[in-house]
Amino acid sequence: MKAKIIITPKKAVLDPQGKTVQTALEHMGHTGIKAVHVGKYLEIELTGTDVEAARQALNAAAHQFLSNPVIEDYHLEICP
């Protein structure tokens, strides 16, 4: 079983990395880009098979440690 967690900066938080990447893409000629947000991706390999238990435990970990709720949002996905 595997967990995938995507952490992104909150919309209200300054994201200079996202802005810089967006500018670079535009310089390369890419058009139609509204905004870029740079975050983190974590892949966690799990030994158990209980999807709900894993979701609960990782939600707590993501909230308490893996992301900082003051500045970041996260999305958790469990792949059985």
Interatomic CA distance for residues 15 and 39, integer angstroms: 9
Least Å from the CB of residue 28 to another protein? 18
Sign of CA dihedral 8, 14, 16, 18: positive
Rule CB under 8 A: choose which of 50, 71, 77, 79 binds another protein: 71
Rule CB under 8 A: choose which of 31, 49, 52, 70 binds another protein: 70
Interatomic CA distance for residues 8 and 23, integer angstroms: 19
Instruction: Establish if 14 lies at the interface with another protein (CB under 8 A).
Output: yes
Q: What does the binding site for another protein look like in residue numbers (CB under 8 A)?
A: 9, 12-14, 16-17, 20, 65-66, 68, 70-71
